Chains A and B, each alone.
Chain A
Amino acid sequence: MQSIIHFSRVSRLLATFLVGLLHSVHTVAAQQGRPAWERVEAIQTLLNGAVPRPEAVRLDLPSVTQDGSSVLVTAEIDSPMTPDNHVEELYLFALGNPSPELAEIRFTPLAGRASVSTRIRLDRSQTVVALARTSGGDWLSGSRDVRVTVSGCLSRDATYQADDVMQTRVRVPPRFKAGQASDIRTLINHPMETGLRKDAAGQPIPEQIIELFQARLDDAPVLTVRLHRAIAANPYLVFHMAPEQSGELTLSWEEDTGETTVTTAEIRVD
């Protein structure tokens, strides 16, 4: 009897172990179907267990770039951008950089289109990832591999020259059609000092970046962008707005020192 009891206990333990093993095998198999970048810490923290729908964020950037100091990237999600159903947040990562965060963008339905372009720094060949969260709580993703080469005909000075730091430029369409999204371009002169460089005396140059961009139409927010140090010098943004009526667009760029530049532009809606 004892041996039978013993046996059944063993078999029960074995069965539990096997179920556990099967479960873990199953989990591994599920993970194997997932892209490796989902296990990057910054992304895991953000997703908090959610599984994003792949290929739902269109990422447009060159597959080979000869100049990693300024790479144009566009991220776009198909979304009706209505109050009930719009993209709320978009996160951009460059997984091979010293710190992977590039930018966090918060859209409102007033943006009209969930699309943003900017220029980024890529330290080496790597994967760029975009994650977006909709107002319904769904996660979407997109990724692109980029090869960074330094062309033999393209070596150049890395020094930043601008005598008008914190100067901004903005371009808005002369007229909007009510409720239709049109693009707005803006740029601020700024070195986006990464904190990773050293000066001629070998002393580290402290990080000093533009960290926040906000666009408002009168009092209504259109778009907010948190910028990290891998946004290229002279931060550049293209985004959209779908105004219902004329107003004043206010763009503010805030440096991590607290210094802020504010620009306004008249918006005319037909």
Chain B
Amino acid sequence: MIKDAMNRRQSLKLMGAAGLGTMLSASGLPVFAGGASAGRVVIVGGGFGGATAAKYLKRLSPSLDVTLVEPQPRYITCPFTNLYLGGIRTFETLWHDFTELREKYGVRVVHELAEDVDVDRRRLKLAGGEDVSWDRLLLSPGIDLRWGALEGYDEAAAEKAPHAWKPGEQSRLLRRQLEAMEDGGTFILVAPDNPFRCPPGPYERVSMVANYFKNHKPHSKILILDAKDGFSKQGLFMEGWREHYGDMIEWVGRSNDGGVMRVDADTLEVETEFGTVHKAAVLNVVPPQKAGFIADRAGVIDASGWAPIHARSFESQLVEGIYVIGDATQAAPMPKSGFVASTQAKVTARAIIADLGGDTPPEPSWVNTCYSLIAPEWGISIAGVYEVHDGLIREVPGSGGVSPMEADRSFRRKEAEYARAWYAAITQDVWGTRFAF
């Protein structure tokens, strides 16, 4: 088995060398003559992972033939969607297009849905009928929702009780519902068990909704029904909630019967594990999740629903020549965050180039920084640095940390400012978008 895999890989390299006119330099890095391609890399997904990978592959190896497949003409970020839901940012400022990737970096951007993967022939099938061939395939497909994992919560139910966990029309729907809600209503957010996209996301979301209620619907309540007994930055969130919103927000963990088992989107009622029924004026269900569907088509996910990867390169453990990054992967302790997807993309771009050149991937180092707003001028953060140790990813001991508890107003205000700067910086890096912030 192993020998077969090696032979396939070697023959691919030879094919690449002969067929595409590449040579290897003494250093092992590919040297390219006469504009010949260094190899074809096809990327699925134009988010933090995929768009970063496209840019950095071309920056590191301009003669690579890089195709980015993303159905939407512009990408809407999950980070800062909560600010839009809270009414302190317009939806348009979350949009990023692919002009810079196309024009400055020479990436071929195809706005189509990737429909299937032919692993043996190394071809990606697009919904429009075109096949795109690859030497290396990089999947950054984000998440799909597990419809039906919560009884009664399917795509039709999401039209009445939105998830808004993949930004777009769902975000607008939830915003409209919040605007239409009468003062004195209850907003219920159903939070999932780990692992899921953006661990602090549900708690920032209720913060931003609380800020909107405080200013426009002060008699309203917020209830979080959680499938977990704890959550990201919990102490900091709860401290901030007390400070800004008094007792408007109530969090019910799993052990206090916060685990929702059934959703009725018509009556906006949810039923918990031990039979308590809660009724909402606006119901936001963040359901259990899994890797985006193209990862399933490619055969790179296991029974967990997520993609196991080799730590150094993020090449799939299940299918050779296919790399997976971002939320779709099993990369714990790295969280499923946009920043992590982007930093994984940079490391994996180097690993792919090394692999195409017959080298081993360089020693990786990844970073996460993640800001959450509790109020417009009240920010908190968490950061971590990650490495490979004994073949597994771990947080570098002593790296990173979280904002201190009981910090004063000016400290929190500065972190809110850093949060806005963080967004401006990362979106400029990934898509080249330039906003005033």
Contacts and interface: CB of A to CB of B under 8 A. Distances in A.
Interface of A is mostly: loop
B231 A66 contact: no
Nearest to A65: B194
B199 A151 contact: yes
Contact of B392 (A66, A147, A154, A156): A147
Contact of A233 (B228, B233, B255, B275): B255
A187 interface: yes
Interface stretch (B36-44, B155-163, B175-183, B327-335): B327-335
Interface in B347-406: 368, 370, 382-384, 386, 392, 394-395, 400, 402
A152 B255 contact: no
Contacts of B229: 69-70, 233-234
A156 B195 contact: no
Nearest to B370: A153
A39 interface: no
Interface residues of A, number: 28
A34 interface: no
A171 B232 contact: no
A169 B274 contact: yes
Contacts of A170: 274
A100 B309 CA distance: 30
A257 interface: no
B148 interface: no
B194 A187 contact: no
Contacts of B49: none
B333 A152 contact: yes
Contact of A152 (B230, B384, B392): B384
Most chain B beta carbons < 10 A, residue from A150, A152, A185, A234: A152
A156 B382 contact: no
Output the residue of A66, A67, A150 with the most chain B CB within 10 A: A66
B230 A156 contact: yes
A111 to B, nearest CB: 20
B11 interface: no
Given A152-B335, A234-B229, A63 B304 contact: yes
A265 to B, nearest CB: 11
A64 interface: yes
B255 A155 contact: no
Contact of A155 (B198, B232, B275): B232
Contacts of B231: 154, 156
Contacts of B235: 156-157
B228 A64 contact: no
B273 interface: yes
A54 B368 CA distance: 41
A153 B199 contact: yes
Contacts of B195: 64, 66, 151
A155 B333 contact: no
Interface in A148-172: 149-157, 162, 169-171
A159 B383 CA distance: 22
Contacts of A156: 230-235
A152 B304 contact: no
Contacts of A147: 332, 392
A147 B233 CA distance: 22
User: Max chain B CB contacts within 10 Å: which of A65, A169, A170, A189?
Assistant: A169
B257 interface: yes
Contacts of B256: 162, 189
Given A64-B330, A157-B235, A187 B255 contact: yes
A151 B332 contact: yes
B200 interface: yes
B382 A152 contact: yes
A150 B400 CA distance: 13
Given A66-B195, A66-B333, A155 B274 contact: no
Interface in A120-175: 147, 149-157, 162, 169-171
Contact of B335 (A151, A169, A233): A151
A185 B272 CA distance: 12
B274 A153 contact: no
Interface of B: 194-195, 198-200, 228-235, 254-257, 273-275, 304, 330, 332-335, 337, 368, 370, 382-384, 386, 392, 394-395, 400, 402
27 contacts: A62-B304, A63-B304, A66-B195, A66-B333, A67-B194, A147-B332, A147-B392, A149-B332, A150-B395, A151-B332, A152-B335, A152-B383, A152-B384, A152-B400, A153-B199, A153-B200, A154-B194, A154-B231, A155-B233, A155-B382, A162-B256, A170-B274, A171-B273, A185-B273, A187-B257, A233-B255, A236-B255
Interface of A: 62-67, 69-70, 147, 149-157, 162, 169-171, 185, 187, 189, 233-234, 236
Given A64-B330, A67-B194, 11 more contacts: A64-B332, A66-B195, A69-B229, A152-B368, A153-B199, A153-B232, A154-B232, A156-B234, A171-B273, A189-B255, A233-B229
